[in-house]
């Protein structure tokens, strides 16, 4: 039965360390890389395509009688001012995710302590030093591999193709212009 106790505590500690490592890695490093990656892709798509579309509209012979450029410029500046900073919904979502992660880590920690206390009170021989050393060795390798995977592979993966972004942006610009003109 001591073997079962050691096994259960070992697995619980594995899960706690893994989840804690992934949570910390995500919130301190990966989330920032992902935000930077998405920003770069969006900026590239916008810079490459929206300017071309607006130039084409601006060079159209009849555009001046339909579009009040001063009003359109004011509207664009207002949108730009409103879009500064992070969205309150996004900030609230990120905070909820962080709290969820912390709650899960706390729950796993309580489970580990409860298991240890339970088996200790039952007089089971728990080899704490062996469990800690084993987990330290395993997670030095696992942590290194996960860090390399996220920094060298996952962070370089572009989830949305630039052509899809360009098409979506241009369609929204056209839609909003036609909405404005009508």
Reported as a single tens digit per residue, the pLDDT across 57-72 is 666 665 555 666 677 6
What's the CA dihedral at 51, 52, 58, 61 to 10 degrees? 180
| Angle made by CA atoms 37, 42, 48, in degrees to the nearest 5 | 125
Q: What is the average pLDDT across 115-141? A: 93
Mean pLDDT in the chain? 80
């Amino acid at each position: 039965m001591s073997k079962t106790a050691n096994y259960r505590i070992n697995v619980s500690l594995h899960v706690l360390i893994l989840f804690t490592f992934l949570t910390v890695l995500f919130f301190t490093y990966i989330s920032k890389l992902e935000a930077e990656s998405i920003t770069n892709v969006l900026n590239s798509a916008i810079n490459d395509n929206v300017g071309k579309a607006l130039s084409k509209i601006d060079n159209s012979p009849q555009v001046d009688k339909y579009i009040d450029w001063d009003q359109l410029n004011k509207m664009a500046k207002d949108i730009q001012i409103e879009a500064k900073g992070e969205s309150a919904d996004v900030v609230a979502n990120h905070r909820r995710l962080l709290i969820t992660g912390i709650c899960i880590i706390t729950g796993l920690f309580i489970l580990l302590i409860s298991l240890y206390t339970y088996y200790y009170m039952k007089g089971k021989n728990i080899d704490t030093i062996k469990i800690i050393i084993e987990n330290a060795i395993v997670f030095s390798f696992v942590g290194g591999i996960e860090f390399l995977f996220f920094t060298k592979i996952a962070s370089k993966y572009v989830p949305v193709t630039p052509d899809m972004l360009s098409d979506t942006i241009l369609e929204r610009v056209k839609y909003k212009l036609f909405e404005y003109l009508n």
